[in-house]
């Protein structure tokens, strides 16, 4: 299990929200074609006059020309009409992306968090049948059977899927890193809890992603079965973590999500980052939402057991 603590700043500056990104020493790669089938292009967005005429941005309707299967109504391009700042205007049910007060991701600062002994992260995972899914904007492992669960305040959240973002969506003490894995859990009532695991680039490969590399490389359609996948091989460590209430980081940006973010960085190789970037659609190689305002939310931090709790 390759883990390292939060350590020194190293590599490049990400000119977005005034934070630095740690990881690759080279600039973001240009769009590439994935192995196999031709890449799907992002659709063109055209504006149709709304109730108040052609000049009403708030009332405009989005018309997608040539929207093929797998193409997307949203993007991560900050200059596009359907970029992150415009997600809330694309559909009425996405309004929370713009109007929500508890949005994710956020910047997690140790000195601003309230230290509490929340206990060791209570999870129990097991191998389960799964498929690899190309959602266009990311690569996801979807579990078909019982892959185990996470327990928070007595509520059991079952592991449903996991997926990756490059670079990280959450920041730690002002720094973004190379990759973030989200482990998405739900109750039967659809209450959601997500565990975020952060990675920095290294010459050492992440073993879990390495085990999935052949399946990702041969993926030709949208979804293919890959047999049993063991979530324990992710290498989750639960002795120290941040906890806060937030949202989904993609539309519809639903709030009420319990976030657990692990502040111990794992390692990922640069060619593994390339693998994920090549597999998604053009324009989604960098699929991290901009940081959101904390808005007076309480951020909890569970320190390592040997650290005294104030």
Of 195, 178, 191, nearest in space to 269 by CA: 178
Q: What is the pLDDT of residue 221?
A: 78
pLDDT value, residue 16: 40
DSSP string computed for 83-97? SGGGHHHH-GGGTHH
CATH 3.20.20.80 applies to domain 3-25+102-302: no
Give which of 160, 152, 163 is closest to 123, Cα–Cα: 152
For 23, 111, 217, 266, 269, the CA distances from 202, given in Å and listed in that order, are 8, 27, 21, 9, 5
Say what the pLDDT of residue 183 is. 99
Residues 6+ apart with CB under 8 A from 157: 149, 150, 151, 185, 186, 187, 191, 192, 193, 258
- Look up residue 50 and give its DSSP letter: B
- Distance (Å, whole) CA 143 – CA 141: 7
Please answer whether residues 65 and 48 qualify as being in contact, where contact means their C-beta atoms are separated by less than 8 angstroms.
no
All residues at 6 or more sequence positions from 111 whose CB lies less than 8 Å from its CB, including other chains: none
Model confidence pLDDT, tens digit, residues 79-109:
999 999 999 999 999 999 999 999 999 999 9
CA distances from 288 to 168, 171, 175, 185 (A): 6, 11, 14, 20
Whole-structure pTM value: 0.78
- 3 state DSSP class of 262: strand
Q: What is the pLDDT of residue 71?
A: 55
Return the active site residues: 137
Q: How far is Cα of residue 169 from the mean position of the Cα atoms in its chain?
A: 6
Whether the CB-CB separation of 198 and 172 falls below 8 Å is answered with yes
Give dist(CA 122, CA 154) in Å, integer.
10
Low-confidence ranges of the chain (pLDDT < 50): 1-70, 307, 309
Tokens read off for 63: 């018309």
Predicted local distance difference test score (pLDDT) of residue 220: 77
85: buried, middle or exposed (CB in 10 Å: 19+, 13-18, 0-12)? middle
Task: Give CA torsion, residues 265, 266, 269, 271, to 10 deg.
Answer: -90
**pLDDT score for 213:** 95
Q: Where are the domains of the chain?
A: 3-25+102-302
Q: What is the sign, positive or negative, of the torsion defined by CA atoms of 270, 271, 272, 277?
A: positive
């Amino acid at each position: 299990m390759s883990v390292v603590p939060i350590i020194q700043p190293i590599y490049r500056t990400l000119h977005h929200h005034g934070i630095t990104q740690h990881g690759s020493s080279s600039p973001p790669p240009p769009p590439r074609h994935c192995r196999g089938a031709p890449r799907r292009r992002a659709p063109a967005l055209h504006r149709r006059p709304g109730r108040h005429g052609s000049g009403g941005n708030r009332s405009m309707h989005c018309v997608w020309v040539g929207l093929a299967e797998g193409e997307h109504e949203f993007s991560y391009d900050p200059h596009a009409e359907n970029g992150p700042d415009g997600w809330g205007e694309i559909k009425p049910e996405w309004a929370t992306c713009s109007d929500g007060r508890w949005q994710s991701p956020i910047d997690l600062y140790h000195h601003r968090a309230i230290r509490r002994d929340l206990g060791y992260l209570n999870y129990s995972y097991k191998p389960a049948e799964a498929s690899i899914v190309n959602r266009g904007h990311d690569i996801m492992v979807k579990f078909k059977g019982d892959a185990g669960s996470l327990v928070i305040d007595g509520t059991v959240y079952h592991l449903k899927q996991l997926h990756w973002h490059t670079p990280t969506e959450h920041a730690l003490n002002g720094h973004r890193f190379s990759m973030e894995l989200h482990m998405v859990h739900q109750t039967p009532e659809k209450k959601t809890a997500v565990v975020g695991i952060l990675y920095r680039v290294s010459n050492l490969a992440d073993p879990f992603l390495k085990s999935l590399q052949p399946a990702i490389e041969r993926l030709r359609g949208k979804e293919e079965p890959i047999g049993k996948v063991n979530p324990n091989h992710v290498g989750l460590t639960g002795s120290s973590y941040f906890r806060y209430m937030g949202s989904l980081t993609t539309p519809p940006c639903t709030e009420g999500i319990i976030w657990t973010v692990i502040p111990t960085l794992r390692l990922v190789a640069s060619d593994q980052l390339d693998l994920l970037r090549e597999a998604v659609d053009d324009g989604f190689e960098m699929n991290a939402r901009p940081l959101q305002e904390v808005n007076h939310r309480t951020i909890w931090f569970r320190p390592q057991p040997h650290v005294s709790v104030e």
